[in-house]
A = this chain, B = another copy of it.
Amino acid sequence: MPVDAILEPAAASTDRVRLRHELRDLFEEVADLLDDDRIEEFPGYFTEDCLYKVTSRENYREGLAAGLMFCDGIGMLRDRVLALRETQIYEPRMWRHFISGVHVLQVDGDTVRARANFLVTESLSDAHPSLFLVGQYLDTVVRRDGRWLFQERIAVCDNHHIRRSLIVPV
Residues of A near any B CB (own CB < 8 A):
1-4, 6-8, 10, 13-19, 21-22, 28-29, 31-32, 35, 57-58, 94, 96-103, 107, 109-110, 112, 117, 119, 121, 123, 125-131, 133-136, 143, 146, 158-161, 163
Whether B125 contacts A121 by the Cβ 8 Å rule is no
The answer to whether A19 and B7 touch (CB under 8 A), given A94-B57, A158-B94, is yes
> Which residues of chain B are near A143, meaning CB under 8 Å?
6
> Which residues of chain B are near A125, meaning CB under 8 Å?
58, 160-161
Whether A13 contacts B17 by the Cβ 8 Å rule is no
A–B complex contacts, Cβ < 8 Å, 26 sampled: A1-B109, A3-B16, A6-B19, A6-B112, A6-B143, A7-B19, A7-B22, A13-B18, A13-B21, A17-B21, A28-B100, A28-B101, A35-B117, A57-B94, A96-B117, A96-B136, A96-B158, A98-B98, A98-B117, A99-B101, A119-B119, A123-B134, A125-B161, A128-B130, A129-B158, A130-B131
